[in-house]
Amino acid sequence: MSSPPARLTVPLRSLGEDELLRTSRERQLSLSREEMGTIRDHFRAAGREPTDVELETFAQTWSEHCIHKTFKGRIELDGEVIELFRDTIAGVTSKLRLPWCFSVFEDNAGLVDFEGEMALAFKVETHNHPSAVEPFGGAATGVGGVIRDILGVWGEPIANTDVLCFGPLDLPYEELPPGVKHPRFIHSYVVAGIGAYGNNMGIPTVNGAIYFDRSYVGNPLVFCGTLGLVPKAKYARDVKPGDAVLLVGGKTGRDGVHGVTFASAELHERSEEVSATAVQIGDPIEEEKIKRGILRVRELGLGSAITDLGGGGLSSAVGEMAHRAGLGALVHLERVPLKYPGMRPWEVWISESQERMLLAVPKANLDRVMEHFAEEEVEATPIGEFVPGKRLRVLYRGEEVADLDLAFLFRGCPMVARKAKWKPPRLEEPSFPMDKDLGGDLLRILGSPNVASREGVIRTYDHEVRAATILKPIHGYGPGDAAVLRPLYDSWKGAVLSNGLNPEYGKIDPYWMAASAVDEAVRNNTAVGGRRIALLDNFCFGNPERPEVLGQLVRAAKGCSDTALAHGTPFISGKDSLYNESPLGPVTPTLLISALGIIPDVRRAVSMDLKGPGHRLYVLGTTRDELGGSHYYKIKGHTGKNVPRVYPDEARELFEALIKAMDMGLVRACHDLSEGGLGVAAAEMAFAGSVGLELDLGKVPLAGRMREDKVFFSESNSRLLVEVREEDSPEFEAALRGHSVASIGKTVDDKELVVKKGKKTLLKAGLDALRDAWEASL
């Protein structure tokens, strides 16, 4: 059998617009008409045809996944033109100008100062489409991928987070469209995949969320995050001409070929067959070994740069590394170790095989670096070198298969200009009578899928390997608001991880959905004692080429930015995943906000379980008639219209005052109010601590008159419940003077939750019954 020549060209120069688009489709490039035209013109000017390797490189580098066209493009909404990334997300950070932001939006992860010479790196990624077709492998490689983002900033991964969105588990099989897997199947294999990867690598999974909504049936969302520790002095980014391009880790196969273009298109019925190569299983032990090797090279300062091989494989990583250094690179593709023979050069070049990293290594250090990897039984192969001149040249057995201008590759992609449309949905506030006894409603909400206990899932994740998890996901037998870690053995300083997510509000207004997500992430962090908070955004929306979807995206981006600015919390990194659509339509606009705070002394961290009888319970923040998208309305069959807003100036100062009180040692327990409002938060605090509670709804600070059920279940933002010892209450009240705060009840000996309004009893329930309801589902 004679193999075809290495160098194959694709005639483009003579093609018209329609033919260009056909070529893009046939080759699964996911490039638009305009982009193809730009490439054609570039090669016309160069006086030659592109090679297949070159064309594939453009398809990878210019994919939505790699270049974030929508976020970096121009969008027009109601006559206003906005560049989402610059004007919203990054805008917040540049306005705040905080000195502790060490590296933002630049690298594979955002970095903030921690203690002394140490920085924390944080990144959250999505792995949605792979998880839809191969939930175990998709989720596992999602975890593996984000861990490599941390390794890709010389970070030592120290904790994982996972936020998962699925269709309802009780969906009747008959309602499943062809080619779509049942939410139960997806749920159980995604959870297994996340656990398998994190557990095997010895990284604790400490924080997350699970959310159910019908819109995720055809397109589940899997957000994976990793926190890392980086000594700032070892954060090497200093490639020099002559440095070796070192490929480290597993062998390269056809897997993941066209992964990013797959991620940048909608899912369809036949995604399963078409994209079989986009599916991978992952090998955490391989990555564990790579991690050891990299940490050793880092410690000895032997490398000059590092990055992961993620979307686009070598084609993205090598070019990016050279481009950042203002250099070019020369790669000998046949040196790449392959899993099997017969791969075309372009396949090797863009393969997304897992568990691989790219290092730049000065020649003088190369032997030592190779030895350290060999010691860990990790393959490391020099495949080329960095060179002066800003060209990316790829040879295959001596034959040139690509010669690209890096400036054009990274800056030549035509900016997209799109129109967005936003029309608020027509919704109404419902009217229904209030039940005399709120107990039934409370039990139903506690047992509803989005509130019920996640213990069954959480326990399948190792959340305490490394012996540094100070507040665990289930702390004191209740659902914690945030995880607290102690990253360094010789310091009590802690890192605090939390998140905010509420797609239900997105059905009413993505602006307030996003604002609420920021507020929730920040208040969860505050609830345990976290401060100096940095944020990550992860947008998962439908096809942005549709004006309505884009309108939602713009509103969400504005909502989270306005709120983040008001809270003084910068964004340091993030990601957007668009085209989350299936034959069932787009996903509900979903924004995950992940928050990273610090706490000066982990021994001062506060958990949510009530600590004992005879203490006071305070509610912080104002309760409003804001039940649109609430769980209470949901169990009554309504969506409503009054979506919770954020009044961030009130909120910021309130949170700061609370932190002050915590640092004074005045807070025994604290829990954030979110899904299910005061009712759910109070019940959770009570059964978590096995301490009874008596509340008077008449004392809750309100904005205007409200019916008792609404007071009890409103999901207004920026509110928390706080337990304070009787003797500390004067000091506590002094610390919070000037804020919306009220003592609304006390903890008692009886193992009951009793809710009154004045003399009238509205609810009386045993803690066991509440706990059983919460634990029943999932």
Stretch touching ligand ADP by CB under 6 A, among 517-525, 571-579, 696-704, 718-726: 571-579
Tell me: does residue 626 bind Mg ion (CB under 5 A): no
Residue 540 or 681 with smaller CB distance to ligand ADP: 540
Please indicate whether residue 65 is annotated as part of the active site: yes
Q: Is 690 left (phi over 0), alpha (psi -120 to 50) or beta?
A: left
What's the closest the beta carbon of residue 247 comes to ligand ADP, in angstroms?
17
Cβ within 8 Å of residue 746, ≥6 positions away: 614, 615, 616, 617, 693, 694
What length does the chain have? 778
- By a kind-dependent CB cut-off of 5 to 8 A, residue 2 interacts, out of Mg ion, other proteins, ligand ADP, none, with none
Residue 123 or 463 with smaller CB distance to Mg ion: 123
Task: Decide if 175 contacts 167 (C-beta within 8 A).
Answer: no
Structure tokens at 5: 């020549």
Tell me: does residue 684 bind Mg ion (CB under 5 A): no
Tell me: does residue 72 bind other proteins (CB under 8 A): no
Stretch touching ligand ADP by CB under 6 A, among 103-111, 253-261, 485-493, 748-756: 103-111
Tell me: does residue 352 bind Mg ion (CB under 5 A): no
- By a kind-dependent CB cut-off of 5 to 8 A, residue 537 interacts, out of other proteins, Mg ion, ligand ADP, none, with ligand ADP
Handedness of CA 431, 435, 436, 438 (dihedral sign): negative
Task: Decide if 578 contacts 112 (C-beta within 8 A).
Answer: no
What is the rounded distance in angstroms from the CA atom of residue 636 to the CA atom of residue 633?
Answer: 5
Residue 107 or 352 with smaller CB distance to ligand ADP: 107
Tell me: does residue 105 bind ligand ADP (CB under 6 A): yes
Tell me: does residue 144 bind ligand ADP (CB under 6 A): no
What's the closest the beta carbon of residue 233 comes to other proteins, in angstroms?
21
Residue 108 or 450 with smaller CB distance to Mg ion: 108
What is the rounded distance in angstroms from the CA atom of residue 506 to the CA atom of residue 644?
Answer: 11
- The helix/strand/coil state of 634 is helix
The DSSP bridge pattern shows strands 328-332 and 380-387 to be antiparallel
DSSP 49: P
Structure tokens at 258: 């066209």
- Using CB under 6 A, which of 108, 128, 453, 569 touches ligand ADP? 108
- By a kind-dependent CB cut-off of 5 to 8 A, residue 489 interacts, out of other proteins, ligand ADP, Mg ion, none, with other proteins
- Using CB under 5 A, which of 35, 64, 115, 149 touches Mg ion? 149
Of residues 149-168, which lie at the interface with ligand ADP (CB under 6 A)? 149
Tell me: does residue 749 bind other proteins (CB under 8 A): no
Tell me: does residue 276 bind other proteins (CB under 8 A): yes
First and final CA of the chain: distance in angstroms?
56
* Identity of the residue numbered 710: K
What's the closest the beta carbon of residue 275 comes to other proteins, in angstroms?
8
What is the rounded distance in angstroms from the CA atom of residue 88 to the CA atom of residue 518?
Answer: 14
What's the closest the beta carbon of residue 573 comes to Mg ion, in angstroms?
10
Residue 461 or 539 with smaller CB distance to other proteins: 461
Beta strands in 53-183 (DSSP E): 74-77, 80-83, 101-103, 110-113, 118-126, 156-166
* Burial class of 364 by CB neighbour count within 10 A (0 to 12, 13 to 18, 19+): exposed
* Phi, psi at 462, each rounded to 5°: -75, 115
- Using CB under 8 A, which of 288, 400, 548, 650 touches other proteins? 288
Structure tokens at 321: 């590394």
What's the closest the beta carbon of residue 770 comes to ligand ADP, in angstroms?
39
Residue nearest to Mg ion (CB): 108
Tell me: does residue 576 bind ligand ADP (CB under 6 A): yes
Of residues 57-76, which lie at the interface with ligand ADP (CB under 6 A)? 66, 68, 71
Closest CA to 65 of 251, 313, 412: 313
Cβ within 8 Å of residue 591, ≥6 positions away: 501, 506, 510, 513, 514, 517, 537, 538, 539, 540, 556, 560
Could you give the angle at the alpha carbon of 159 between the alpha carbons of 156 and 160, nearest 5°?
A: 120
Handedness of CA 624, 627, 630, 631 (dihedral sign): positive
Tell me: does residue 356 bind ligand ADP (CB under 6 A): no
Helices 648-663, 547-567: axis angle to 10 degrees equals 40
Cβ within 8 Å of residue 724, ≥6 positions away: 615, 616, 617, 618, 666, 667, 668, 732
DSSP 87: I
* Burial class of 16 by CB neighbour count within 10 A (0 to 12, 13 to 18, 19+): exposed
Residue 12 or 246 with smaller CB distance to Mg ion: 246
- Using CB under 6 A, which of 107, 520, 684, 723 touches ligand ADP? 107
Cβ within 8 Å of residue 759, ≥6 positions away: none
Tell me: does residue 264 bind ligand ADP (CB under 6 A): no
Mask: binding to ligand ADP, 531-570, rule CB under 6 A, as x and -? Answer: ------x-x-------------------------------
What's the closest the beta carbon of residue 192 comes to other proteins, in angstroms?
8
For residue 655, the Cα-to-chain-centroid distance in whole angstroms is: 24
Of residues 394-423, which lie at the interface with other proteins (CB under 8 A)? none
Residue 182 or 764 with smaller CB distance to other proteins: 182
What's the closest the beta carbon of residue 479 comes to other proteins, in angstroms?
13
Q: What is the CA radius of gyration of the chain?
A: 27
Please indicate whether residue 475 is annotated as part of the active site: no
Tell me: does residue 315 bind ligand ADP (CB under 6 A): no
Of residues 281-320, which lie at the interface with Mg ion (CB under 5 A)? 308, 310
For the annotated catalytic residues, the residue numbers are 65, 127
Binding site for Mg ion (CB under 5 A): 108, 149, 308, 310
Binding site for ligand ADP (CB under 6 A): 66, 68, 71, 89, 105, 107-108, 110, 149, 310-311, 537, 539, 571, 573-576
Q: What does the binding site for other proteins look like in residue numbers (CB under 8 A)?
A: 133-137, 182, 184-185, 189, 195, 199-202, 253-255, 272, 276-277, 279-286, 288-289, 340, 375-377, 459-472, 474-477, 486, 489, 602-603, 605-607, 609, 611, 669, 689
